[in-house]
Amino acid sequence: MPLYIVRNDITKMKVDAIVNAANPSLLGGGGVDGAIHRAAGPELVKECMTLGGCKEGEAKITNGYDLYAKYVIHTVGPVWRGGKYGERKTLQSCYTESLQSALDAGCNSVAFPLISSGAYGYPKEKAFEAAVEAISDFLLENDIVVYLVIFERNSSLLDSGKFSEIKRFIDENYYPERCECGNYAVKKQKFKKPSILSKIKSSKFDGDIPTCGAAAFESPALKESFKESMEEAMSEKPMASSLEEALKMRDESFSEMLMRKIDETGMTDSECYKKANIDRKLFSKIRSDRFYRPSKPTALAFAIALRLSLAETKELLEKAGFALSKSNKFDIIVEYFIREGNYNIFEINEALFAFDQNQLGTLA
C-alpha cells in the first residue's frame, strides 16, 4: 500500500493510529508529544503511566481517547549526537517497530511525525531520508497505508541543496508557452498524431514553427522543443512483424499495455503495484477493466515501477491520454529521474514533495 507525504496537523489525521514522538517517560512533553497528549485528553497519560516508560527505538501502543485515531503508538527517537552513535539505526527502528505495532493491532492506516527532528536535534533532511527508507522497506513486505506528516508550512527540503541538480534541470527545461502577443497558451501542444503530425508526415518537415493565431511562438526553448517533437515523431520506428500484430498494438489499451509490460519483466502483480506505490484494490480495478483510465501520477508510477525508458514512458502515458509537458514541473522532475536511471519511487516522491508537486502512485 502507498506512502503519502503530507502537510497536516497529526492530531487531526483520521487514521487508525498516529505515532507519538515521545520521551522515555511517555508522560508527555513539548512539541508533537505535548500536542498529542492535549488532544487525546487526560486519560492518555493515565494509561501511559501503566506502561513503565519506553526505550529508544522501541514502541508501545495505547488507546487514542479523544483523538480521531483509535490508537496512539508511542516511540522514543534518538537524540542527535553527530550521527556517529547509531542514531540512524535507532531512528529507523522507531518506524519499523511502530509499523509492526500498528499491524499487530489490526490497523489499516497509520500517520507518523518526523521523529527526532524537533527538540532532539536530528537534522530534518537526514530524519526525512531515514523515515522514507524505513517506511518504504517495510511496505515492500507489508500492506498498510502510511502517512508521513510534516507540520510546518515553511518547512522545505529545498534549502538543504540536496535537490540542486533537479533545480537546475527544471530551470533549463521548464517554461510556459507564450506567444508574441504576450498571452500564455491555454493548452500545451506536443503536436501528436493524428492531427498535425499526420499532415506533416505527408511532406518533408522544414523546421518551421507553427503560429498561434497570427503570432509565432517567441520562446527559443519552445521552438527547440517543437523541433525535437517533430524529429521524434518522424523518426523511423521498428515495423510490426505482421498486420495482426500492428492492429493489436494500435488498439491496445492502457491496462492491456501495462499487463503486457508486467509479463515481459517477469514481475509479479504485487511486486509491481508495491514498487509503484499503488494500492492493491486500485491495481485490481485496472487489471479487471480494459478501459480503465488512470490519473497521470498513477500511470507514471507504473512506468517507474517497470523501469521504462523515456520513450516507453511516453508510450504508456499516451495510452492513458497523457503526454509529458515542459510546462509542467511535475513532468520535468519525473523525466529527470528517468534520464538519471533512478527508479526509486520514494526518492522521486520526496523530490516531488519538496517542490510542492503531486506524488506518484497516490492518486486513483
**Catalytic residues, which ones?**
33
CA distance 281 to 289: 12
Give Cβ neighbours of residue 313 (< 8 Å, ≥ 6 apart).
Answer: 300, 303, 324, 338
Type of residue numbered 279: D
Cβ contact 332:326 at 8 Å: yes
The DSSP element (H or E) to which 72 belongs, if any, is: strand 71-75
CA distance 102 to 99: 5
Q: Kindly report the number of other CB atoms within 10 A of residue 199's CB atom.
A: 10
CA distance 139 to 3: 8
Cβ contact 282:292 at 8 Å: no
- How do strand 145-150 and strand 3-7 relate by DSSP bridges? parallel
Cβ contact 300:334 at 8 Å: yes
Compute the residue count for the chain.
Answer: 364
The DSSP element (H or E) to which 212 belongs, if any, is: strand 211-212
Q: CA dist 93 to 26, 27, 133, Å?
A: 17, 21, 11
Q: CA dist 306 to 195, 247, 322, Å?
A: 30, 24, 18
Cβ contact 352:358 at 8 Å: yes
Which has the closest alpha carbon to 21: 134, 122, 116, 93?
A: 116
- How do strand 59-63 and strand 215-216 relate by DSSP bridges? unpaired
Grid cell locating 335: 523525466
Grid cell locating 33: 508529544
Q: At which residue does the C-alpha cell 499526420 appear? A: 198
